[in-house]
Amino acid sequence: MRVLCVCLGNICRSPMAEGMIAARAREAGVALEVDSAGMGDWHAGDPPDPRAIAAASARGIDISRQRARRVRPEDFMAFDLILAMDRSNLAALERLRPVGATAVLRIADPEGREVPDPYVGGAQDFETVLDMLEVIAESVVGGG
């Protein structure tokens, strides 16, 4: 299964989601291919936000080698599951979704909660995101 995590900038939430899901899948021995992308391209080519790298690292997850990119229409064929971090990302992805898309598109959280954007926040906001991503990763890895 191939999973794409999507947020707005691809430097905070979706890189942490990619790292968390990949780590939990590895630990569980589940074969998953995970990537992430953003709706915007302001940070294309950049590593994740230093606060995201630090918060993930504190949980044993190295996301420092990731590089941001914008989501592409072809992603709807290249991935089986596309996870939107919030409702705004979901709406934008629905507008981008091409005819013939094969990926399942849904909000990442299994209970439909939005993963809040920590970009203008502080360290605690990154912890809140990571706590939600633990649940999201469990639902993806456990659900296959």
Question: Which is closer to ligand 4NP, CB of 9 or CB of 140?
Answer: 9
Residues facing residue 6 across a β-bridge: 37, 84
Catalytic option among 5, 12, 13, 109: 13
Concerning whether 13 is annotated as a catalytic residue, the answer is: yes
CB hemisphere CA count around 15 (13 angstroms): 32
End-to-end CA distance of the chain: 8
Q: Name the residue among 35, 2, 18 with its Cα closest to residue 129.
A: 18
Question: Which is closer to ligand 4NP, CB of 1 or CB of 41?
Answer: 41
Tell me how far apart the alpha carbons of residues 6 and 10 are, in angstroms, rounded to a whole number: 7
Catalytic option among 49, 75, 109, 117: 117
**CA angle 97–92–73, rounded 5-degree value:** 30
CB of 48 to ligand 4NP, least distance (A): 8
DSSP 6-35: EESSSSSHHHHHHHHHHHHHHHHT---EEE
Ranked by CB distance to ligand 4NP, the top (closest) residue is 9
Concerning whether 97 is annotated as a catalytic residue, the answer is: no
CB of 31 to ligand 4NP, least distance (A): 27
CB of 29 to ligand 4NP, least distance (A): 29
Concerning whether 86 is annotated as a catalytic residue, the answer is: no
Question: Which is closer to ligand 4NP, CB of 18 or CB of 117?
Answer: 117
**Contact positions toward ligand 4NP, by CB under 6 A?**
7-13, 38, 42, 117, 119
Q: Annotated active-site positions, please?
A: 7, 13, 117
